[in-house]
Amino acid sequence: MRILAIETSCDETAAAVVERMTNTPETRSNVRVLSSVVASQADLHARTAGVVPEIAARAHVEAITFVIDDAVREAGGKRGHVPGDIDAIAATTEPGLRPALVIGETAARALAVAWGKPFIPVNHLAGHIAAAWLVSDAQSAVSHRFPAIVLVVSGGHTQLWRLDRRPAKASAEAGEGFQLRLLGQTRDDAAGEAFDKIARLLGLPYPGGAALARLAERGDACEVALPRPMIDSKDFYFSFSGLKTAVFYLVRGRKLSEQERADIAASAQEAIVDVLVAKTVDAAAREGAAEAILTGGVAANARLRSRLRDALGALPLVVPHPQYCTDNAAMIGAAAVLKLEIPMPS
């Protein structure tokens, strides 16, 4: 099965072509990336230090035709021609910025009608989770173990999921056979949002998360005492608004030296990582997990990956390649191939 996927949930215009790998029973769920094209709007939104939905939507309109053409050509197609081996068109339909989402979904539905292909709606969070099954020619196939604990941590979401494979009988009736159960999520700000807002308080450029991580490398995380919200709550819910507020009052009215800025960045990063690691390890223990998966844009943070891998010990940790952690269309195609769906609240 080969899918053309489109992603426009925020400020990345992305298209990709992916296909299911069927070489061995252990890796039958792996999804090969044939092309992945991403047009970033980071420079555009740096002017406002954040994403303005209407501006993002206009930028998607300008870029989407070229991005789709590039993805199809990189996968072996020709500009302006219907790819004969494309089986379906997928696009992100939720969650995200509504004006931005409409652009990708409309383009995908139009192509589906024009080419006579089925349209597959995909939840953005399902895409982040499915990124753990993406492989390219330069990567080895991945064999997963179940049950798995999945930490999805991005600019808009911080969630812990339990992922199981359905029994064989149910699998035959319900697609690929994966089942997700939400264990907990943030009650206010997501971890990625906290990274970005704290970076802004420290005068760092947009996008702030990566800039804060670079500054933290020069800082001492023990120099500044910051809260670890809900770290002892004995559940799998998160809260990062209090940490952001603590940094606001710490820096308000002060002229910080470069070292002080670095120390605050390192301390804030460590506080966020402490909470994420503690709750993920606890969830893995309580659920009897056979593996942990870390995904989402913040999964690109080297400190989080390192700390979580150390804390899990012998429990395997699967992290998508960094290019598939941030928003991209290959992960949306993977969710469509795997028929991975986010359960609706009861």
Q: Which of 60, 39, 56, 40 is nearest to 48 (CA)?
A: 56
Measured between alpha carbons, how far is residue 132 from residues 87, 124, 266, 292 in Å?
22, 14, 28, 10
Query: Residue 2 sits in a domain of what CATH number?
Result: 3.30.420.40
- At residue 21, does pLDDT exceed 90? no
pLDDT of residue 155: 87
What is the gyration radius of the CA atoms in the chain, in angstroms?
A: 20
What pLDDT score does 175 carry? 47
pLDDT band at 12 (very low <50, low <70, confident <90, very high): very high
Structure-model confidence comparison of residues 102 and 143, the more confident one: 102
> Token pair 């069927």 is at which residue?
22
Q: What is the pLDDT of residue 268?
A: 98
**What is the domain extent for residue 180?**
145-319
Neighbours of 13 (CB within 10 A): 30
Q: 89 and 111 in contact (C-beta within 8 Å)?
A: yes
b/e sequence 20-34, b meaning 16+ C-beta within 10 Å: bbeeeeebebbbbbb
Which of 93-97, 141-145, 185-189, 311-315 has the weakest average pLDDT?
Answer: 141-145
Q: Give the residue among 203, 308, 219, 310 at the shortest CA–CA distance from 269.
A: 219
Q: Assess whether pLDDT exceeds 80 at residue 286.
A: yes
CA separation for the pair 305, 228 (Å, rounded): 18
Both 264 and 308 in one domain: the answer is yes
> Which amino acid does the sequence have at 71?
A
More confident site: 281 or 170:
281
CA dihedral 127, 130, 135, 139 (to 10 degrees): 110
Pull the structure tokens for residue 31. Answer: 């999804």
Q: What is the pLDDT of residue 1?
A: 85
CA quadruple 155, 98, 204, 255: dihedral, nearest 10:
-100
pLDDT score of 170 more than 50: no
Whether residues 127 and 161 fall in one domain = no
Tell me the two tokens of residue 285: 């223990």
Give pLDDT, residue 123. 97
Q: Where are the alpha helices (DSSP H) in the chain?
A: 42-45, 53-74, 98-115, 124-130, 168-173, 191-201, 208-216, 241-251, 258-287, 302-312, 322-325, 330-338
Confidence of residue 14 (pLDDT cuts 50, 70, 90): very high
Domain match, 213 and 337 both:
no
Instruction: Tell me which of 19-28, 31-40, 134-143, 283-292 is least confident.
Output: 19-28
Q: Are residues 312 and 332 in the same domain?
A: no
pTM: 0.92
Query: How far apart, in Å, are the Cα atoms of 236 and each of 123, 135, 231?
Result: 22, 30, 9
pLDDT at 168: 57
**How many CB atoms neighbour CB 135 within 10 A?**
20
Give percent of the chain with pLDDT exceeding 70. 91
Q: Which residue has the tokens 């509504």?
A: 98
Residues 216 and 116 in one domain: no
Residue 189 makes CB contacts below 8 A (sequence gap 6+) with 197, 239, 240, 241, 244
Do 187 and 221 share a domain, yes or no?
yes
Q: What's the gap between Cα 107 and its chain centre? A: 22
Sequence-ordered list of residues with C-beta below 8 angstroms from that of 222, at least 6 positions apart, any chain = 267
Q: Mark whether 245 and 295 lie in a shared domain.
A: yes
In whole numbers, what is the pLDDT of the chain averaged over residues?
A: 91
Distance of CA 117 to the CA centre of its chain: 27
155 with 96, same domain: the answer is no
- Please tell me whether residues 290 and 325 are part of one structural domain: no
Q: What pLDDT shows up at residue 139? A: 59
Task: Give the model's pLDDT for residue 173.
Answer: 44
Compute how many other C-beta atoms are within 10 angstroms of the C-beta atom of residue 122.
31
- Identity at 149, one-letter amino acid code: I
- Co-location of 333 and 256 in the same domain: no
Same structural domain for residues 336 and 311? Answer: no
Length of the chain as a residue count = 346
> Per the omega criterion (within 30 degrees of 0), is the bond before 147 cis?
yes
For the ranges 36-50, 130-144, 260-274, the maximum mean pLDDT occurs at: 260-274
How confident is the model over 59-71, as a mean pLDDT?
A: 95
pLDDT digits (tens, 9 = 90+) for 214-237: 999 999 999 999 999 999 999 999
Q: How many domains does the chain have?
A: 2
Are both 62 and 211 inside the same structural domain? Answer: no
Edge-to-edge strand ranges of the sheet holding 134-135: 119-123, 88-94, 2-7, 12-20, 31-40, 134-135
Please say whether the beta carbons of 53 and 98 come within 8 A. yes
Flag whether pLDDT at 134 surpasses 60.
yes
- 43-52, 72-81, 116-125, range with the lowest pLDDT: 72-81
